[in-house]
Amino acid sequence: MHERNKPIPPPPGPHFTRRVPEGDNMERYVCGQCGHIHYANPKIVVGSVVAYNRNILLCRRAIEPRKNFWTLPAGFLEEHETPEDGARREAREEAMCDIVIDSLLAVYSVPHISQVQLMYRATLSAPDFAAGPESLEARLFAWEDIPWNELAFPSVKWALDHYRAVEGQAVFAPFGNPPG
C-alpha cells in the first residue's frame, strides 16, 4: 500500500522511466526498450460483516498494520478470484470458518492508501470458527460488547454501523463512505 504523494516504486528492470505515454494524460513507468506501460492501480479489499445468532464475528489481528486490534475478516482480493470468493477465502484464512454471503453491504473508497473495499453481509454456515494464521483470536461479540475503541480501521466501524442500519432488511442499496 502506498500513501498518497509517495513515489511509486518502479517495476523491475533498468529500462523503465516515468513519463506520460502517448495518448495518456498521467505519468507512468514506461519501458524505454519495448514501450510497455506499467500501470499502478488501486488494491481491492474484500471482507464481510459475519453474523451468527445476532452476534458479530471479529478477529484480533496478528500482523501489522494494527496488530492486536479487532477487525472484520477481510483482505486483498487475489487475481482470478471473484470478490465473493475472496471474502469467503478471507473468512477461512482469518477465522477458520465458512460463511454464506447474503449481499453486498458497502463499497468504500480509501484513496490515501489506494484501496477500494467491498464489504459483504454474511452469516456463519456453522458455529465453528477459530483464529487463523493472521489472527490472534476470533470471537463472536454481542453488539453492546464490540470493542469499539479497539477497532483496527475506520472502515471496520463504517461496515458495522452500516450492517446495523440494515439489520433484518432483505433489500437495501449498498452503502458508500460515510460523510466526513
Q: Which domains does the chain have, with CATH numbers?
A: 9-40 (2.20.70.10), 43-165 (3.90.79.10)
In whole angstroms, give the CA distance from residue 15 to residue 1: 24
**C-alpha span between 127 and 70 (Å, rounded):** 20
Read off the pLDDT of residues 16-51 as tens digits, 9 standing for 90 and up: 989 999 999 999 999 999 999 988 889 999 999 999
- pLDDT, the chain, mean: 93
Mean pLDDT of 65-82: 98
The predicted model gives 113-128 an average pLDDT of 97
Q: Per-residue pLDDT for 63 more than 50? A: yes
Q: CA nearest 177: which of 107, 121, 87, 115?
A: 107
- The CA-atom distances, in angstroms, between 123 and each of 52, 103, 116, 169 are 6, 11, 23, 14
